[in-house]
Amino acid sequence: MRNASSPGESQLLRSVTNALKILAMLGSRPTIRVSDVSAHLGVAKATAHRLLATLEHEKFVEKDRIDRSYRAGRMLVDVGLAAVGDLDVRRKAKEAMRRLAQETGETVNLLLLEGPRTRVVDGVESEQTVKVSSRVGVLLPANVTSGGKVLLATLPPEEVRALFPHGLPGVTAQTMTDWDTFEAELREIRRCGYASNFAESDDSVHGVAVPVYDRRHRPVAALAVATPAHRLPPSRVRTVAEELRRGANSITQTLV
């Protein structure tokens, strides 16, 4: 005959279940707050805070020290990537990313396209005091990041439209949400081979990105530089794009 669970065991199971539900929340949104967790789980804010603190301690979530929100941590991203097997481009891009971070003095990120969104799957942070932190695991609308735009530009226009049936989402006042304007930008990206982002995902961040192709010329990722806005004026974009292109080409040579 099966013994009933003790009160302590029941509480432990509830905590584990709630922790898993928190991790599942991060699969559908880039950040969550204590109030979000409290409402979603139907628990007190103090309980939600304890659960998040435990997950933070184990590196499954990371806390933003400025706005106090939580995002996917390094451990959660690593577990997710391991579940789908060895992500070859992530492993082989690392050395090129380190080199680019040194050459540009800025944070370098590797992004993948996930439907209408992009996810940062790896990053090497700038060594400068004022820098953009690498937000590994963060998921953002593809139309607001340089990496997302450069990957969308590799798709046929009708496929891009199909990814956003409800229109282009806006994140900041600078986000491009008009379809005609956005499609004109994608045409320009296809022509020049790189994309830029001027405060479209974050008011204080600018970025440049190029696609990474495999040896069959299939786009597999985007290589991007993220900088504080004041360090990337339009006049610097082409220079950074050329540095990124060399890095992307070196990654391509390592891919089967």
Amino acid 59: pLDDT: 86
Contact 124, 136 (CB under 8 A): no
Contact 51, 38 (CB under 8 A): no
Contact 185, 191 (CB under 8 A): no
The answer on pLDDT for 253 being more than 80 is: yes
The answer on pLDDT for 136 being more than 90 is: no
Q: Among residues 18, 52, 77, which one ends one of the domains?
A: 77
Amino acid 12: pLDDT: 79
Query: Mean pLDDT across the chain, nearest whole number?
Result: 89
Q: Which of 168, 142, 160, 157 has its CA nearest to residue 222?
A: 142
The answer on pLDDT for 9 being more than 80 is: no
Q: What residues make up the domain containing 68?
A: 7-77
CATH number of residue 220's parent domain? 3.30.450.40
The answer on pLDDT for 10 being more than 90 is: no
* Alpha carbon distance 57, 51 (integer Å): 10
Domain count, the chain: 2
Q: Which of 93, 87, 209 has its CA nearest to residue 145?
A: 209
Q: Phi, psi at residue 213, to the nearest 5°?
A: -105, 155
Q: Phi, psi at residue 32, to the nearest 5°?
A: -140, 160
The answer on pLDDT for 161 being more than 60 is: yes
Q: How confident is the model at residue 249 (pLDDT cuts 50, 70, 90)?
A: very high
Exposure string for 60-94, b = 16+ CB within 10 A, e = fewer: bbbeeeeeeebbbbeebbeebbeeeeebebbebbe
58 and 149 in a single domain? The answer is: no
Q: How confident is the model at residue 83 (pLDDT cuts 50, 70, 90)?
A: low
Q: Phi, psi at residue 111, to the nearest 5°?
A: -125, 150
Q: Among residues 59, 77, 95, which one ends one of the domains?
A: 77
Task: Give me 205's structure tokens.
Answer: 């961040």
Q: Among residues 57, 77, 97, which one ends one of the domains?
A: 77
Q: Say if pTM beats, i.e. exceeds, 0.85.
A: no
103 and 191 in a single domain? The answer is: yes
Amino acid 8: pLDDT: 61
**Residue 2 falls within a domain, yes or no?**
no
Amino acid 252: pLDDT: 92
Contact 25, 39 (CB under 8 A): no
56 and 180 in a single domain? The answer is: no
Q: How confident is the model at residue 71 (pLDDT cuts 50, 70, 90)?
A: confident
